[in-house]
Chain A
Amino acid sequence: MQESAHIAQEAVVHTVSYLRWIPLLPLLGAIINGIGGAWIQTNLGKKVVGAIACAMPLLGFVLALRAFFQLLGLDPAQRVLLDNVFPWIHVGILNVDVAFQVDPLSSVMILIITGVGGLIHIYSTAYMHEEPAYWRYFAYLNLFTFAMLTLVLGDNLLLMFVGWEGVGLCSYALIGFWYSEWANASAGSKAFIVNRVGDFGFMCATFLLFWTLAEADHPTLLFREITQYAPLLEGQLFWGMGTVTVITMLMFLGATGKSAQIPLYVWLPDAMAGPTPVSALIHAATMVTAGVYMIARLSILFDMAPTTGAVIATVGAATAFFAATIGTTQFDIKKVLAYSTVSQLGFMFIAMGVGAYATGVFHLMTHAFFKACLFLGSGSVIHAMHHEQDMRKMGGLKKWMPYTYATYLLSTLAIAGIPPFSGFFSKDEILWKAFSGGHHIVWFVAVCAAAMTAFYMFRSVYMTFEGESRADEHTKHHLHESPLAMTVPLMILAALATFSGFLNIPHALFGHARFDGWLAPVVQHGAHAAHHDVEIIEYVLMIFSVAVAVAGILVARAMYQTRTLKPDWLVDAFGGKLYRTVYNKYYVDEAYDATVIAGTMSLSRAMAWFDATIIDGIVNGSAVIVKLLSQAYGLFDHYVVDGAVNGVGALTSLVGGGVRRLQTGNINAYLYVIVLAVVGVMMARIW
């Protein structure tokens, strides 16, 4: 299939034909439940709907494992599996196929998507059991899995973009799942529209990349070939800036939309309007990491653009910090987790910005485990509390919900970065890479964010599970641990959140950094991320960041558990203004409302006025003219054309009326005429 197969450096590709089933099975599930789901649910029960929906990602997980082990058996430099399904677009110099590719990077992603996704599907069967539109929920969830798998498996930018848009669509549909409430529906629209802004950047980057490569005689959108031809972009200029810088900046704009970074993060907290398992799957574990995946996938380009790297690291650090500050003030348990997700994504972008791509993907993976576990845990709590999300009305839940509490606590320890939980290894590695790369300010901001992470996460633990229950009697009476279908996924995820860090023990801790090694053939090693040997400072920083995290936990404990510290002093600092600003999310939504949205709205009002007055005026005016003209034509037609026709008709009938008198119908009369005529003729002859 490769047009450029003659090039010697072409990566060795192993063709297989089972990869297509990884995305197609969930698509099949979406089609079955989307078309026949209502019938199945009525006639066969919700269990069948749930079973179909769960089977698809789990079968996908089996296939993903198969792909993983097949890769494992290959030489590291040749770890690429390709399944070319069919030729897609072959127009001019553009040649794109629907082809799925598994390399170490996408193998990690598909394992997360099908594995965590499968667990969340199972969890959902219990969480959504009262939902009347059960089938619709699972159809969307399966469709999302399909789109996300397409995103990570596509071997070219276009197919990736199909998945990129598909996950946005499914995200929209699932945020607004309970669309009868205006707030949910508008949250879905907000997510979709904000994402479109980023998608615009993604598209522009794709076009620019393609045409720049085309000018260098190697037009391609295939990732393998982009990697191969990327050096051709070196030194190219676009409007006075390096072309690579422009491309990567536009790509990063796309990533900020999908992965909720400043300035396009505003949709993610509102996305919590969707069902909680959706928040776990889409808005924590998978979709929001698409931006990180995309940067890792195109790391060769990002590595060539240090300016973009600096911007990414800065934006990531700023996002990590600001989202963490907002997280400390929220009372809605899902909002806390949402801002935590934004903040953790910021950490991943720091890693991407400093060129530690493998580390970023590692944090992506550990985050998928512990954040999915946290969201599902919060869902378990919300389920038990009859859809109460305000932590001020919770408290003491560990008595009723021991499994949920234990798993939530383990994941909280992981996200706080306490060794030996997974978050410690991934987050600490990011901090170290930032510091050793010379980005000391980024490092400092990130450490502050990490401290706040520990604080607000333990705040949520203490407010939700510890202390006295603040729930009303009715709710308290019905408190119960969630069913097995919910607790078992929680336990599996908690186990992963606890132990997955051991996959990538750094050399400093006498490990082998296996995860980095696994990704090494695919992602860049970070030309501008300095390589250092193990240094004493690494241990110092490690201890420092752990100490900071522990300090955050202790402050949270003092404020919300032992109550030796009153949260009020923080609230009242700076006359309460600071607190109110943070609590109201820095008024960013309001600022966007006042600027972008109000601007768009007034533009659209102006357009509507223009449309209603000028365009409609022209249309209506021409209609009036046509009407007048047609009236004139009508008169002409009536009097002149019809007059002529009718005149001919009237004349004919007049003549006919006269002539018909001759035709009496009386045979005798005819005979007399005949005889007379014969006699007349004879007389004429004789004379």
Chain B
Amino acid sequence: MMEIGLNHFLVVGALVFLAGLFCVLTRRNAIGILMGVELILNSANINYLAFARYSSVSYDGQIFAVFVIMLAAAEAAVGLAIVLGIYQMFHTIDVDATDTLRL
């Protein structure tokens, strides 16, 4: 039976990061982009926790991960508010259509 080590976590983190990046780059829906950003943040969290578990004696990694989760929540709130504002202004949330800051 294969021992699950640091590398496995890093690979999962990288896969999640790539999925998030792909989502961010390809989605034209603003909410989709936000979801991609959440994936990227969570991939970073996986890396923090992995390094914290396997190569450190302190709890720094876990604390950072908690901060990132909190930050992600805040970012989602602000981002969704912006999306709502954009929808009111343009009646769409397609980021290709909203390439100007003023009407």
Q: In angstroms, how far is the closest chain B Cβ from the Cβ of A661?
A: 12
CB contact between B101 and one of A665, A666, A671 (< 8 Å): that residue: A665
Q: What residues on B are CB-neighbors of A667 within 8 Å?
A: 33, 95
Instruction: Return chain B residues, CB-CB under 8 Å to A665.
Output: 98-101
In chain A, positions 654-680 with a C-beta closer than 8 Å to chain B are: 664-668, 671-672, 675
Once the chains are docked, how many angstroms separate the CA of A671 from the CA of B32? 14
Count of A-B contacts judged by CB separation below 8 Å = 19
What are the interface flags for B1-32 relative to A under an 8 Å C-beta threshold, 1 for contact and 0 otherwise? 00000000000000000000100110010000
B95 contacts which of A666, A672, A675 (Cβ < 8 Å)?
Answer: A666
| Residues in chain B near residue A666, CB distance under 8 A | 95-96, 99
A675 and B100 in contact (CB under 8 A), knowing A666-B95, A667-B33, A667-B95? no
Q: Which residue of B lies closest to A666 (CB)?
A: B99
Q: Determine the chain A residues whose CB is within 8 A of the CB of B99 once the complex forms.
A: 664-666
Q: Which residue of A lies closest to B26 (CB)?
A: A668
- Alpha-carbon distance between A672 and B98 when the two chains are bound, in angstroms: 17
| Complex Cα spacing A401 to B67, Å | 124
Residues of B contacting A: mostly = loop
Binary per-residue interface labels of chain B (21-49) against chain A in the complex, 1 for a CB within 8 Å, 0 otherwise: 10011001000010000000000000000
Determine which of B25, B96, B98, B100 lies in contact with A671 in the assembled complex, contact meaning CB atoms within 8 Å. Answer: B25
Band of interface residues on A: under 10
Please indicate the chain A residues that have their CB under 8 angstroms from the CB of B33 in the complex: 667
Q: Are B96 and A668 in contact (CB under 8 A)?
A: yes
Contact between A675 and B25, CB atoms less than 8 A apart:
yes
A671 to B20 Cα, complex, angstroms: 12
A672/B101 in contact, CB under 8 A: no
Kindly list chain A residues whose C-beta atoms are within 8 Å of the C-beta of B100: 665
Q: Is the CB of A668 within 8 A of B25?
A: yes
Instruction: Give the residues in chain B near A664, CB-CB below 8 Å.
Output: 99
Residues on A with beta carbons closer than 8 Å to the beta carbon of B101? 665
- Contacting pair B95 A668 (CB below 8 A): yes
Nearest A residue to B28 via CB reads A668
**Contacting residues, chain A, for B25 (C-beta < 8 A):** 668, 671-672, 675
- The docked-state distance in angstroms from the alpha carbon of A671 to that of B24 is 8
In angstroms, Cα B24 to Cα A665, docked, is: 16
A466 to chain B, nearest CB (A): 109
Residue of A nearest to B36 (CB): A671
Q: Give Cα A666–Cα B30 distance, bound, in whole angstroms.
A: 12
Residue of A665, A666, A667, A675 with most chain B CB atoms under a 10 A cut-off = A667
Binary CB contact string for chain A from 637 to 667 against chain B (1 if under 8 A, 0 otherwise): 0000000000000000000000000001111
A169 to chain B, nearest CB (A): 75
Chain B residues, CB < 8 A from A668: 25, 28, 95-96
Nearest neighbor of B27 in chain A, beta-carbon distance: A668
Give A672's nearest chain B residue, CB to CB: B25
Residue of B nearest to A665 (CB): B99
Q: Mark A234-255, 1 if CB is under 8 A from B, else 0.
A: 0000000000000000000000
A-B contact sample (6 more), CB < 8 A, given A666-B95, A675-B21: A665-B98, A665-B100, A666-B96, A666-B99, A667-B33, A668-B95
10 A-B pairs with least C-beta separation: A665-B99, A667-B95, A666-B99, A665-B100, A671-B25, A671-B24, A664-B99, A666-B96, A668-B95, A672-B25
Offer 19 A-B interface pairs, CB within 8 angstroms, sorted by A: A664-B99, A665-B98, A665-B99, A665-B100, A665-B101, A666-B95, A666-B96, A666-B99, A667-B33, A667-B95, A668-B25, A668-B28, A668-B95, A668-B96, A671-B24, A671-B25, A672-B25, A675-B21, A675-B25
